[in-house]
Structure 1
């Protein structure tokens, strides 16, 4: 049986790893191996029963699709034009959190990353790092049986 102790421990792993991921994404050269490898920070998050059970693939894809759309449009449009669309993720993910459709740690991660991206000196690069991490979260979530 899944005890409250296990859930609390897993929530702490998820929270700690998302904090580490936020620090890595904004570095000039993120440690991609540490982030993306099998058993890396992202894989550790998506392996937890807590994260797996509290985030459905449809919710994850909903937000990832917005990020991918911005990424695609960045090839043709200016960052200044697309930045407001990135900000729209924040209230949307807070709404999903309020309905218990996404875990608090994931909602906080996405919200804080939008701030970090838009406050950075090179928002396009930080956004691309974020997009790569988000894609890996989707992939590992599905790999670990996300429904």
Structure 2
């Protein structure tokens, strides 16, 4: 069904709220996982509707996957090198927004990811939930027919 909300309402509902991000990243409960899936579905669909391309998302996701490779199984806290790379992802994402002409959909994605990064700290579980969330957003974007370039 097409959403006929005003642009202000659309803008307001695009990024995932800080409260929902805290639940998604902070709780390892069925409710938190269901919220992750629901919000990823909603945001992935909205990003497709705003014509964000899969390649624009993958530019950022590739870096997240690279960072993920540094997190060893059994690690209790994220190493400082991983924390640094996560924080440095924020200016890289800002660069992507500028590179693609300040695309509003990309701004909304970056706003959500930046807020999520702020919640991770050195917590390995939160980091993995962040990766799961990002992967799910990308998957739903593609599911709804997001363009590849």
Report the TM-score range of the alignment, normalised by the length of the smaller protein: 0.7 to 0.9
In the alignment, which residue of structure 1 is the partner of 2:36?
Answer: 35
In the alignment, which residue of structure 1 is the partner of 2:91?
Answer: 91
In the alignment, which residue of structure 2 is the partner of 1:117?
Answer: 120
Structure 1: give runs of 5+ residues left out of the alignment. Answer: none
In the alignment, which residue of structure 1 is the partner of 2:60?
Answer: 63
Contact (CA 8 Å) 2:21, 2:116: kept in 1 or not? yes
Contact (CA 8 Å) 1:35, 1:42: kept in 2 or not? yes
CA displacement, residues 24-81 of structure 1 (integer Å, 9 cap, x when unaligned): 2332325111221xxx222122223xx2224221111111111111112212796222
Alignment map for 1:47-62 (pairs within 5 Å): 47-48=45-46, 51-52=47-48, 53-62=50-59
Contact (CA 8 Å) 1:54, 1:103: kept in 2 or not? no
* SS of alignment partner, residue 28 of structure 2: coil
Q: How many Å separate the matches in 2 of 1:140 and 1:129?
A: 16
Contact (CA 8 Å) 2:41, 2:140: kept in 1 or not? yes
Contact (CA 8 Å) 2:24, 2:36: kept in 1 or not? no
Q: TM-score, normalised by structure 1?
A: 0.77
1:115 positional shift: 1.6
Q: How many Å separate the matches in 1 of 2:132 and 2:82?
A: 18
Count of residue correspondences: 137
Which structure's relative contact order is higher, taking Cα pairs within 8 Å and 6+ residues apart?
Answer: 2
Q: How many Å separate the matches in 1 of 2:86 and 2:52?
A: 21
Structure 2: give runs of 5+ residues left out of the alignment. Answer: none
Q: TM-score, normalised by structure 2?
A: 0.77
